Amino acid sequence: MKKQFYLFIGIVAMLVNANAFGQTPISTYEDFDAKYSEIIVDGTFCFGDNVSLEVEQDESHDRYEWYYVEGNSQTLLPDENTSTYTGSYGPGYHIFRVLAFTDAGCFEEEEIGVYVLPEISVDRMDDEEYCVNDLPPTDGSEGSIELLAEIDQSGFDDEFELFYQWKKNGEAISGATNSTYIVGSIDDETEIGVFEYSVDISFAVNDGGCLKNHSIAQITVTPAPEKPEIQIGTTGHTRGQ
């Protein structure tokens, strides 16, 4: 008879929270449950970060075996016999199983579901320039400078709710939290200079984690020239003379 004991799995690294594509975008862990109910998603990782898992060690544990689970099959992860596991995985849902053995060969097992969030990328727009005495409209009408950071999620396994924060030269523009921003609608469009507009994009599912800044466009505001003064030429007669 194998010895019974409880195995607790902790996630070590950046854990974040992450529903099924075509439904309401995923914004909480609970949204995952409708699609990934076999093994619930206990944690998420940012794109590019290793999946890092750890077993809370018990004195009854002598060694461990880690497995990657796909459907009804599992693959032994070679040379992974300690209480921690770290590996690189692409975006999506992943299940891992760990077996903890006693020195007598008895074992207990546990599974965990994690989700690697997809990479967010935004195309940079063309730079713009305008004169301070010829300001573009700020109401979205023709001529407005509209910066776009809309994300095409059609290639993702799931759709996610995203957070946006627009910045001007690295400083957050208060209230600019949509996927688009019209230059001058909140910030001062009469300010002369060269300004880099960017946007922070993060995942609602992890309370704004996996944040990445994307440079969108450079906007140059040039001063107006001195007002020209027309004078009477030498062949004419000036008023008052």
Tell me how far apart the alpha carbons of residues 151 and 196 are, in angstroms, rounded to a whole number: 20
Q: Is residue 237 part of a domain?
A: no
At residue 40 the predicted structure's pLDDT band, cuts being 50, 70 and 90, is very high
Instruction: Please determine, for residue 2, whether its predicted confidence score (pLDDT) is greater than 60.
Output: no
pLDDT digits (tens, 9 = 90+) for 155-212: 999 999 999 999 999 999 999 999 999 999 999 999 999 999 999 999 999 999 999 9
Q: Is the dihedral of CA 229, 235, 238, 241 positive or negative?
A: positive
Look at residue 139 in the predicted model and tell me its pLDDT.
Answer: 95
Tell me how far apart the alpha carbons of residues 107 and 9 are, in angstroms, rounded to a whole number: 15
Tell me how far apart the alpha carbons of residues 19 and 21 are, in angstroms, rounded to a whole number: 6
pLDDT digits (tens, 9 = 90+) for 155-168: 999 999 999 999 99
Q: Is residue 212 part of a domain?
A: yes
Looking up residue 210, the CATH number of its domain turns out to be 2.60.40.10
Q: For residues 53 and 144, state if they share a domain.
A: no
- Overall domain count for the chain: 2
Q: Is residue 133 part of a domain?
A: yes
Cβ atoms of 207 and 27 closer than 8 Å: no
Q: Is residue 233 part of a domain?
A: no
pTM exceeds 0.85 for this model: no
Q: For residues 107 and 163, state if they share a domain.
A: no
Q: Is residue 3 part of a domain?
A: no
Range of the domain at 183: 128-222
Look at residue 23 in the predicted model and tell me its pLDDT.
Answer: 64
Q: Taking all residues of the chain, what is their mean pLDDT, rounded to a whole number?
A: 89
Cβ atoms of 217 and 123 closer than 8 Å: no
